[in-house]
Amino acid sequence: MSERATPAGEPKAGTSRRTFLKVLGAASATTAVAACSSNTGEELIPYLVHPDETVPGVSNYYASTCRECAAGCGLLLEVRDGRTFKVEGNPDHPLNRGALCSRGQASVQGLYNPDRYRQPMLRKNGRLTPISWTQATTLLTQQLAGIQGAGKAGGAVFINQHETGSFPGFLDAWLEGYGMPPHLSYAALSDGAVIAANKQSYGVAWPSLDFTAAKIVVSFGADFLETWGASVPQQLSFADARAKGVDAPRVIYVGPRRSLTGMNADQWIPCKPGSELAIANALGGTGTMAQAAQSADVPAATLEALASALAGAPSLLLAGGSMELALAVNALNQKFGNVGRSVLTTQPIESFEGMTTDAELTDAIERMRAGQVPLLFVRGVNPVFTSPRSAKVADAISKVPFKVSFSSYPDETSELCDLVLPDHHAIESWGDAQPIPGVISLQQPGMDPVYDTRATADVLLALAKTNPKLAAAHPAGNYREYLISRYPGGTTAFTAALIKGIGNGTVAGQRPHRAAVPATARAAANIAGTSGDFYLVVYPSPLLEDGSGANKPWLQEIPDPVTKVCWQTVIEVGTSAAARLAIDPGDVLRVETPAGAITAPAFVYPGLRGDTIAVAFGRGHTAYGRYAQNVGVSPGDVLPVAFDAKSGAMAWTSTKVKVTKTGDFVPLVSAEGSARQHGRGVAQAIDAGDLARTEPAEVPVSPMHGNEQTEEHMPGDASHEFLPGLRAPVAQDAQGDLPSDDNLKGMYDPKHWSGMAKRRWAMTIDLARCTGCSACVTACYAENNVPTVGARHQSSATAGLEGQPGANILRGREMAWIRLERFYEGGETLDESFETRFVPMLCQHCGNAPCEPVCPVYATYHSPDGLNVQVYNRCVGTRYCSNNCPYKVRYFNWFGYGEPARPQYAWPERMNWQLNPDVTVRGKGVMEKCSMCVQRIRESEHRAKLEGRALVADEFTTSCAQACPSNAITFGDAADPAWSVTKLIADRRGYHVFEELNTFTAVVYLKKINHPAPSAPAGR
């Protein structure tokens, strides 16, 4: 202001206008130029001249092999613009035939996990600090030379995850070169006892199972639909068997806890823990039924009925638990003539061959504790977490002078190590597997590495090359060359096999199979010798397995198939015990053994004996990244170190525990509203006997509307006109079926230029096949960019529950477009048995949708081809549609799950690479729901159009249907008789949920088929 007062003509102090403009111009220009370049140099489209077969915006599929468990299922990696964003089952793979379990599908979240090591790490001053690969390999070379020089190489230990294929042999050869002993091939919580028994009985680790050849299936604690053996092929066969309807096998589950497999059984025999052997022996004739019944605490009549049922029909008996039990059950299979019929020992699953026992690992751990191990390598396993805490594995490992981890994740074990050489994720690596004899399943990278990691095999090769003595033994430049050099038929055959992902042949020079019997004898687990009020059953979580799934938010968020609890460890208590001790769901219990104690909320479960509690293994990590750390507790904290005497496998059900109520209450993070149907008919079932009757099914009577039926015929009224019920006036209209051509009501014009109006996309879900495994849920999360909402950091604005894992789920805000409902039928009283029914519930795409007329802004409307469409951009978020949806399948974005700046962001950096580019990431404040994978529908329609043809029946399907390991979901065009779905809709078991509401749903459920015991009265 003072300048104003200066007399004219005098030069002004400060900047002149001219100078100012000059500076301004220059500054703007430099800013603008600087803004044009960024440090990272991102590219809008990755290729200027693109490689063959790579078209921006079009997916490529690479066949590979799953490494999430030992089974080795075939994968198809969907790759777009250089990023793998979805993992699907390989339809050509003989093991999984296109299906894939949740764990396999979630592997992509391991790939992009935000907590992966981004480069090698070295412990400096007690902390892991990043170093370069050159430094890391130099350091390791020195260490190797050091122990070799000291003559201690023979004491080194390499623990590798159990896998088949070339790598184990390659690894042993490498170790031998340095004078180190062969590696330990370890899988935690594996069925070591059963494998040992199978080796003894059949000479193979795992026979394949044909459920379709059996009329009665008895499982002695073998959870063949979850983690017992190769779950996907077993589930495929099981579902095929159950779909046979009247001829399907009756399934009986024997065990103290009714697992997911047990829920799929028609009968549950709740025997005392450890008494399965007595029952199997009694069935085999080496004990009396009365004795068995007494030791198992079940009525003798039940066991006698079981014996007589087994006597009359082809059967299949399965065992999980001790080797003795497995041997007894194998003998029963032999006795009943099942070997070669339902137990196919000639077509074994090779994946479990050569597995190290828990005892061998413990021996190695004890050597470490004794200071005899100079160097430890750990790859793909996490023994610190997966061993009972009382085994003090962490202490033992700390005694090793130099510990090398190849883990890609900061898990409990790698956090103890001195050097971390992060391995590629399986999706970034080359490899192979031999899941079944004569079949090589190839593993190829789906993309460039996400971080600065290196394949362990390549690291080992590089190390060997630096040693002149060893270089000659390792001529391959990298592991891929190594694989090719050993592949039967060489490069040509290898390249050809890569296209399908499988080749014929046997991996040459696989590591010789080990003897199953451990070196040192073990004291047998003696459950009766422990003291406490309850038996403790510890089982691997169906989703998280040995805990390796815990860093994948999908697997944390998808409710456990049995308890329906997520982001939380619960202590399962039987209904009778809960009544006895006045335990309500959520009451915090303290479980104590001499080994330790855990506290967790109670889950009251009717499928558990009154003298038993059960805790799933998998949560309770103290490290392992943001999704796993300090979420839940681990039953490993209370377990004693106990072994199955014969096989050397860890005995997980080995102790009694003391259970006390702490008086606290923690609400259960559960997706379950009411576990009973209250007569609503959501999950319907039919007895096989009724299905066998020849007269046509009666018109289903609505459970809500009584028995009255009017003579008056309402066109398309599903409650009067039995199936397909898709002929709602609007659907008829859409199909041009209304009597008059001029009668074009609404907006469904059959002559619409889009030509789509003749279709009616529809789905059938066969509840006889569905096992409730929830793989469809994972598939939907993966395909449709459904955010997970339960992580601790996502809870920060959830008022009242800040910072609590699963807080948003406690508020019912899970986003799963498809959910697995688990209803109990019967069992209202303590003595009565109960039946479980699973229903995958998703948007029913009603022909007459209640959500549509209430939306004030037309954000949801009906597409001409029968879809109920949600327009995210138009949605203002009144949520009226959700209120009016009887199926409650609409999900609201309560927070900005897609906004990187928000704490609720569901895809922290690199996790967002998994997002499906075909599907919008929904914004805050809008409604979303199942779209029946509309992106797949349109993609197929466009492809057909480009190729100048009509859509071929069954040429594509939805993500859930594709993943389903039970083939329970069928999707297609119900207006075209060529599609499979049209035939299935006409099935006599078909029904619509809440059809009395005249919603004319596009999803037709086929009733579950129950197989009651022949003597039992039909129906419940």
CB closer to another protein, 122 vs 604? 604
Q: Cβ of residue 143: shortest distance to another protein, in angstroms?
A: 51
CB closer to another protein, 16 vs 674? 674
Backbone angles phi, psi at 386, to 5 degrees: -85, -5
Amino acid, res. 262: G
* H or E element that contains 617: strand 612-617
Ramachandran assignment for 755, one of left (phi > 0), alpha (psi -120 to 50 degrees), beta (any other):
left
Q: Cβ of residue 895: shortest distance to another protein, in angstroms?
A: 4
Give helix 276-284 / helix 289-296 axis angle, nearest 10°: 170
Q: Cβ of residue 799: shortest distance to another protein, in angstroms?
A: 3
DSSP secondary structure, 480-510, as one string = HHHHHHHSTTHHHHHHHHHHHTEEES--TTP
Joined together, the tokens standing for residue 419 give 């050097």
Q: CA dihedral defined by 9, 13, 19, 25, rounded to 10 degrees? A: -130
Q: Cβ of residue 817: shortest distance to another protein, in angstroms?
A: 13
Q: Cβ of residue 881: shortest distance to another protein, in angstroms?
A: 9
Total number of residues shown for the chain: 1020
CB atoms within 10 A of CB 169: 17
Q: Cβ of residue 641: shortest distance to another protein, in angstroms?
A: 41
Q: Cβ of residue 674: shortest distance to another protein, in angstroms?
A: 4
CB closer to another protein, 56 vs 746? 746
* H or E element that contains 612: strand 612-617
Q: Cβ of residue 993: shortest distance to another protein, in angstroms?
A: 8
CB closer to another protein, 312 vs 673? 673
Are the beta carbons of 1004 and 992 closer than 8 angstroms?
yes
Whether omega before 724 lies within 30 degrees of 0, making that bond cis, reads yes
Q: How far apart are CA 390 and CA 402, in angstroms?
A: 23
CB closer to another protein, 9 vs 679? 679
Give the bridge partners for 504, in sequence order.
Answer: 439
Residue owning tokens 């339960």: 790
Residue owning tokens 């909320």: 601
Q: Cβ of residue 887: shortest distance to another protein, in angstroms?
A: 6
Q: Cβ of residue 192: shortest distance to another protein, in angstroms?
A: 38
Q: How far apart are CA 333 and CA 318, in angstroms?
A: 9
CB closer to another protein, 438 vs 853? 853
Are the beta carbons of 897 and 789 closer than 8 angstroms?
yes
Q: Cβ of residue 994: shortest distance to another protein, in angstroms?
A: 6
Q: How far apart are CA 565 and CA 373, in angstroms?
A: 42
Q: How far apart are CA 196 and CA 492, in angstroms?
A: 39
Detail the DSSP E strand segments found in 356-429: 375-379, 402-405, 419-420
CB closer to another protein, 247 vs 802? 802
CB closer to another protein, 5 vs 799? 799
How would you classify the pairing of strands 431-436 and 571-574? unpaired
Joined together, the tokens standing for residue 102 give 């949740």
CB closer to another protein, 85 vs 887? 887
Q: How far apart are CA 931 and CA 879, in angstroms?
A: 17
CB closer to another protein, 136 vs 815? 815
Q: CA dihedral defined by 156, 162, 163, 166, rounded to 10 degrees? A: 20
* R_g (Cα) of the chain, nearest Å: 30
Q: Cβ of residue 773: shortest distance to another protein, in angstroms?
A: 17
Residues of the shown chain interacting with another protein in the complex, contacts defined by CB under 8 A: 672-674, 676-680, 682, 703-706, 797-800, 808, 811-813, 819, 821, 823, 841, 850, 853-858, 874-880, 882-884, 886-888, 891-896, 902, 904, 923-927, 994, 997
Q: Cβ of residue 797: shortest distance to another protein, in angstroms?
A: 5
Residue owning tokens 């609505």: 702
